[in-house]
Amino acid sequence: MRRKTNIVAAFAALTVLASAEAPAADSLPSWNEGAAKQSIIEFVEKTTKSGSADFVPAEQRIAVFDNDGTLWCEQPVYVQVAFAIDRVKALAPKHPEWKEKEPFASLLRGDAKAALAGGERSAVEIIIATHVGMTTEEFRRIVKEWLKTARHPVYQRPYSELAYQPMLEVLAHLRQNGFKTYIVSGGGVEFMRAFALEVYGVPPEQVIGSSGKTRFEMRDGKPVLVKQPEILFIDDGPGKPEGINLFIGRRPLMAFGNSDGDLNMLQWTTAGEGAHFGLIVHHTDAKREVAYDRESHIGKLDKALDAADSAGWTVVDMAQDWKVVFPASK
Amino acid sequence: MRRKTNIVAAFAALTVLASAEAPAADSLPSWNEGAAKQSIIEFVEKTTKSGSADFVPAEQRIAVFDNDGTLWCEQPVYVQVAFAIDRVKALAPKHPEWKEKEPFASLLRGDAKAALAGGERSAVEIIIATHVGMTTEEFRRIVKEWLKTARHPVYQRPYSELAYQPMLEVLAHLRQNGFKTYIVSGGGVEFMRAFALEVYGVPPEQVIGSSGKTRFEMRDGKPVLVKQPEILFIDDGPGKPEGINLFIGRRPLMAFGNSDGDLNMLQWTTAGEGAHFGLIVHHTDAKREVAYDRESHIGKLDKALDAADSAGWTVVDMAQDWKVVFPASK
């Protein structure tokens, strides 16, 4: 009995002191004050504050984020395309037929735009086609190695430093408030898992992406998974809510995107009962990044922008809402 | 400064008192003392104890469990087959062609054995074929409703009470020690997600299973996901490590199964570097459940049993190792 009482007393003291200690810190310091920042703060408050009408138990707090153009830079080409170009160059000696065959021929000539003419889906196909025959573990090593040395053609920085600082703060703020943060991206799942934990703090099991088949094999008595050329699943457009259902099995509370490929994910998420939140990152900042939306063939934002107003989604004006775009150099 | 010191003192007091308070409780009370129980306790200890040579950080502690025959009863037919039979009966008036068409004709005659002649894969096909056209949310409601009223033909208890009590204790023990517990089953993922949280404490996002395609649609202005007849992925045999890679993206620390369908999952899991753990539930208990292994067409255990010894996997002898099989009636 005595011990129990001591524990209670110590715990109570700790709680009181800890809350007295806690400063009213700004969780989103890279966001300018305004409607966008306020909408995030308020949504998190009302869904996590015990006793709130919109309170949601911690295990149901799921937030999904598109990757390219939402969490990191997707211009002038998707990061994976930059990786694929380097891989095509590295593998070209073993594939003489690529010199004649599109889209490889264009990639080898350095004309990523021509290779990308078919949009995100063809980009995904190129990426998966250049990633086969090796084991999943070999592939992950290749991506990690590449990320160490590759530099963005404009900013001349490692891609891992081109995550958007304001969005990194949103990820951290949500996790501090009991949310599970997921990536739901048209990009290849194995590619993203090679860096998602380090760059975003998102573990592999919370990364959903376009997926190729793998095949279980025994090699020298050891089981391996070998990446196959067949596409299992394209995680874009309607594939995003389908993928969320397949991998998570419940409706997220919050969805973050930047393009029409995220429209169905935003619709699906915010159609749930009770409080839900949708946000679109609108690339308006020609000075610090690139300004693009309705006419862009990368990250085209047209229908989703039209839908945002009546749906009540937050639209982030990057030029206005963000104090900085990229983190300070390391 | 004063406050900081107080916090440290209070925290220290709390820690000391809490550990003094903790009783040396038996986490696996339904297991008889013996090698099987000991192997579980010891593996968890050595991988979670700070400073241990085999210590694994909490975020990498992933344990995967087959469902049918490992976590709950799979005899005389898979629970999903019992569900499918009831669904076929309920839907038969709308499908007159089923009277002539196998395997539906056999199911409608009550001859589950004939319908199941093609093994687990054909069972999965039957189940998925009877589950299409409705939304994912409608389907979940149907399963939940069915589970409330359905009774096991032998034990005359709700299926939710036919989870193995000793395995429920393993799930809880692992979670108490920072493990994430996953189900990796040949069964339909939407079916299992309807009860996995309630029965096993496993949330939807930690249930991996055979999966049908869904299609995103707008119905009356609301987005829905409609279950399609196409199979996306069979989570059995080699599909288990493939599914683990697809959904989790890293190798589990522990794998639990009961049949040859779990062999590749056990191989994949225990081939990882460092300490890994494999366990097979061997159905040896004809008195309290059903004794079956090499000759059974449900849960056939032959190659995996042969492999267990040299692989160092724990083989649970249900008759010997378990004090009880099912939980006490509610």
Contacting residues of B for A14, CB less than 8 Å apart: 7, 10-11, 14
Instruction: State the angle between helix axes of B263-270 and B239-247 in degrees (0 to 180), rounded to the nearest 10.
Output: 50
All residues of chain B having their beta carbon less than 8 Å from the beta carbon of residue A233 are 232
Model pLDDT for residues A69-117, shown as the tens digit of each residue = 999 999 998 999 889 889 888 888 988 988 888 888 888 888 877 887 7
Work out the number of other CB atoms within 10 angstroms of the CB of residue B51: 5
- Among partner residues A7, A189, A214, which is closest to B242 by beta-carbon distance? A214
Do A287 and A154 meet the contact criterion of CB atoms below 8 Å apart? Answer: no
The per-residue pLDDT for A289 is 97
Q: Which of B13, B225, B233 minimises the CB distance to A241?
A: B225
ipTM above 0.90, yes or no: no
How far is the alpha carbon of B34 from chain A, nearest alpha carbon, in Å?
31
Beta carbons of A249 and B204 less than 8 Å apart = yes
Give me the pLDDT at residue B318, please. Answer: 98
Confidence of residue A120 (pLDDT cuts 50, 70, 90): low
pLDDT band at A19 (very low <50, low <70, confident <90, very high): very low
Whole-angstrom Cα distance, residue B166 to residue B258? 14
pLDDT at B15: 47
Q: What is the CA radius of gyration of chain B?
A: 22
Tell me the average pLDDT across A300-329. Answer: 97
| CB-based contact B249:B224 (threshold 8 Å) | no
Q: Using a pLDDT cut of 70, give the percent of chain A over it.
A: 89
The residue that leads in pLDDT, B193 or A221, is B193
Torsion angle, CA of A110/A115/A117/A121, rounded to 10 degrees? -130
* Cβ atoms B84, B126 nearer than 8 A: yes
Note whether A66 and A259 are within 8 A (CB).
Answer: yes
* Identity at A190, one-letter amino acid code: E
pLDDT for residue B120 = 64
Can you list the positions of beta strands (E) in chain A?
62-65, 180-188, 207-219, 222-233, 254-257, 277-282, 314-317
Cβ <8 Å between A213 and B180: no
Residue A304 to chain B, least CA–CA distance (Å): 15
Q: How far apart are CA A31 and CA B42, in angstroms?
A: 49
- Tell whether the model's pLDDT for residue A17 goes beyond 50: no
Measured in angstroms, the CA of B202 and the nearest CA of chain A are apart by 11
Nearest to B117 by CA among B126, B128, B129: B126
Task: Give the separation between CA A12 and CA A7, rounded to whole angstroms.
Answer: 8
The encoded tokens of residue A268 equal: 């699906």
Q: Which residues of A touch B241 (CB under 8 A)?
A: 216, 223, 225
**Do residue B271 and residue A223 have CB atoms under 8 angstroms apart?**
yes
Contact B215 A238 (CB under 8 A): yes
Which of A217, A195, A246 is closest to B241 using CA atoms?
A217
Going by C-alpha positions, the residue among B283, B276, B274, B273 that lies closest to residue B305 is B283
Quote the minimal CA–CA distance from B181 to chain A in Å.
12
Compute the C-alpha angle B137/B140/B142, nearest 5°.
110
Q: Is the pLDDT of residue A3 over 70?
A: no
- pLDDT of B123 reads 66
Specify the pLDDT at position A91.
85
From B260, B278, B279, B261, select the one nearest B269 (Cα to Cα).
Answer: B278
Interface mutation vs chain A, best among B14, B16, B143, most A CBs within 10 Å: B14
pTM attached to this predicted model: 0.89
Quick one: pLDDT at residue A125?
60
Q: Which residue of A has its CA nearest to B243?
A: A214
| Sheet of A207-219, strand order | A222-233, A207-219, A180-188, A62-65, A254-257, A277-282, A314-317
Tell me the pLDDT of chain B (330 aa) as tens digits.
Answer: 344 445 544 444 444 444 444 556 899 999 999 999 999 999 999 999 999 999 999 999 999 999 999 999 999 989 998 898 898 888 889 889 888 888 888 888 888 778 877 666 666 667 666 788 899 999 999 999 999 999 999 999 999 999 999 999 999 999 999 999 999 999 999 999 999 999 999 999 999 999 999 999 999 999 999 999 888 999 999 999 999 999 999 999 999 999 999 999 999 999 999 999 999 999 999 999 999 999 998 999 999 999 999 999 999 999 999 999 999 876
Question: Across the interface, do B216 and A10 touch by the CB < 8 Å criterion?
Answer: no
Residues written for chain B: 330
Q: Where are the beta strands (DSSP E) in chain B?
A: 62-65, 180-188, 207-219, 222-233, 254-257, 277-284, 291-292, 314-317
Helices and strands in chain A, H and E counts: 14, 7
Say how many C-beta atoms besides its own lie within 10 A of residue A294's C-beta: 11
According to the model, what pLDDT value does residue A16 have? 44
In 3D space, the residue among A3, A41, A2 whose CA is nearest the CA of residue A24 turns out to be: A41
